[in-house]
Amino acid sequence: MTRHEALARIREIVGPAGVVDDPLEQAGYLIDERRLYQGAAALVVRPASTDEVSAVLAVCHEAGLAVVPQGGNTGYCGGATPDDADGQVLLSLTRLNRIREVDPVGFTLTVEAGVVLARAQAAAAEHELLFPLSMGSEGSCQVGGNLATNAGGLAVLKYGTARELVLGLEVVLPDGRVLHGLKGLRKDNTGYDLKQLFMGAEGTLGVITAAVLKLFPAPTERQTAWLAVADAAAACRLLGAARKASGDAVTSFEYVTRPSLALVLSRIDGTSDPLDSPYEHYVLMEMSAAGAEGSLREIMEQVLEDGMARGEVLDGAIAESGPQRDALWKLRESIPEAEKHVGGAVKHDVSVLISRIPEYLALAPARVQAVTDCRLSIYGHIGDGNLHYNLLPPADSDPEAFRAHWGAALSRAVHGLAAELDGSFSAEHGVGKLKKDELARLSDPVELEVMRAVKTALDPRGIMNPGKLFQA
Ligand code: FAD
Ligand code: 2HG
Ligand code: ZN
């Protein structure tokens, strides 16, 4: 089948509603969230069912046409953007957006890949249940994209990353065959756990079309506190104490440094410092529980009092209402937007053992300043050992020139230190195009060989998202 014939056949499969021809409409699919990559496509298709995805992939497989899956296009590593050679098929999952089933007895939710994360959360909430995956992009990212990147976010400490929330997966393989894995069993030891291969694979092994997700009782009480802490080591100790004292009710434990908070306060409307004086280190701690009305408040207060007595907590404010809680979360969740206002951010997403966070933070400034002068914006999910060690251009420099000139060397320094401390250079955002050289540089060679073997076994023609994850 020629390329021309294949593209015509794909048009027939999805029909006119399944093709985006208008250049203006196409544009949004061809550039990534961070505006780091601009691509082109032979065709932008939006199949409406698993059968259509399967038929499209069968044609692409036969014709040797590359396929780039795309969910909400909020990814940070350019994984959902085609290359600029005009030869790849951009396959958007947006129309696979049905909630297939909520099972309030088994606590599961079956959704198609294109369901926006916030909609999946709302579908669970209708049954007084919780789908706990949560992140700043939840209004646009899709469940399929979350699973393909094994997303993290704001409640990993309690509920795990995306892959830990999945009981079953439906996947279209590169040749069009469908792996029907939606039984949703809690126990099933019948050989390899194949679904795990596709989560975190960033679209390089197949297209996720649906998933059975785990639900939990919806919390009936939340306590949220904004705390000034002595330093990162104090924050880590406080985390352990809070987990023990609350019977593991700590759902989020987010670290924010003063420069990141200052950015938010100066750039984001409607924000204000909850504390009277400025401090260098903050923690946003949230505890939540189902069915234990009233008791968490006392526990939170006791944890803060004990933390103050040990000198870990310097000051703090506990939210007294829903709006106050939202205001505290806005301070944390607006940091990426505030960084966007500055421009030129060289962003990182490293992880180390929680106990090594202080060591990482002590060593990193000298490593980056040895590359070039820059401003630090450090925050992240320290409850998961995950830091966003973001570097901003000096006040007087051109943001884009800063990133273009220094970005790669700064990232090598930040990632290299994570590797030295036995950590990861990509904790939750994935690899995509942006970090594939780092995967080659920093991964164990045996690990890489096994990954390539899996890739070759499942996608022998290399049509799934080429140029992502692996160097050519
Ligand atoms: P896309 O960007 O469309 O795609 C991401 C990758 O998955 C690509 O490689 C793509 O090819 C592949 N893919 C997409 N759908 C499928 C599918 N159905 N089958 C196979 N492959 C597929 N991430 C976090 O982990 N934690 C955070 O806290 C967080 N906060 C964020 C806050 C903001 C403001 C923004 C803009 C982003 C944030 N992100 C965060 C990054 C991003 O939202 C996540 O990586 C998210 O999981 C991507 O989902 P998506 O649907 O947008 O995927
Ligand atoms: C977050 O934790 C996201 O807010 C985005 O993962 C981090 O923008 C960033 O660097
Ligand atoms: Zn994050």
pLDDT in tens, 92-131: 999 999 999 999 999 999 999 999 999 999 999 999 999 9
SS3 380: strand
Q: Within a 10 A sphere around the Cβ of 326, how many other Cβ atoms?
A: 12
* DSSP bridge partners of 424: 351
Q: Where does ligand 1 bind, in terms of residues with CB under 6 Å?
A: 33, 68-76, 79-80, 93, 113, 135-137, 141-142, 144-146, 148-149, 151-153, 202-203, 207-208, 336, 428-429, 432, 465, 468
- In the chain, ranges of CATH 3.30.70.2190 domains: 221-336
Q: How far apart are CA 303 and CA 305, in angstroms?
A: 6
Q: How far apart are CA 75 and CA 95, in angstroms?
A: 19
Residue-averaged pLDDT of the chain:
97
Residue 292 pLDDT more than 80?
no
Residue 294 pLDDT more than 70?
no
pLDDT (0 to 100) of residue 219: 96
CB of 332 within 6 A of ligand 2: the answer is: no
Q: How far apart are CA 60 and CA 54, in angstroms?
A: 10
Say if residues 14 and 24 touch (Cβ distance below 8 Å).
no
- What is the architecture of the domain spanning 342-438? 2-Layer Sandwich (3.30)
| Ligand 1 midpoint to CA 105 (Å) | 30
Query: What is the assigned CATH class of domain 3-92?
Result: alpha beta
- What is the architecture of the domain spanning 99-217? 2-Layer Sandwich (3.30)
- In the chain, ranges of CATH 3.30.465.10 domains: 99-217
| Ligand 3 midpoint to CA 2 (Å) | 43
CATH of domain 221-336: 3.30.70.2190
Supply the residue whose CA is at minimum distance from atom 32 of ligand 1. 136
Contacts of 377 (CB under 8 A, 6+ apart): 257, 259, 260, 263, 335, 339, 345, 388, 390, 391, 392
CB of 426 within 6 A of ligand 2: the answer is: no
What tens digit of pLDDT does each residue of 219-253 get?
999 999 999 999 999 999 999 999 999 999 999 99
| Ligand 3 midpoint to CA 12 (Å) | 41
What tens digit of pLDDT does each residue of 328-354 get?
999 999 999 999 999 999 999 999 999
Q: Which residues of 52-63 are buried (b: 16+ CB within 10 A; e: fewer)?
A: bbbbbbbbbbbb
- In the chain, ranges of CATH 3.30.70.2740 domains: 342-438
CB of 388 within 6 A of ligand 2: the answer is: yes
Rounded to two decimals, what is the model's pTM? 0.97
CB of 336 within 6 A of ligand 2: the answer is: yes
CB of 436 within 6 A of ligand 2: the answer is: no
Residue 195 pLDDT more than 80?
yes
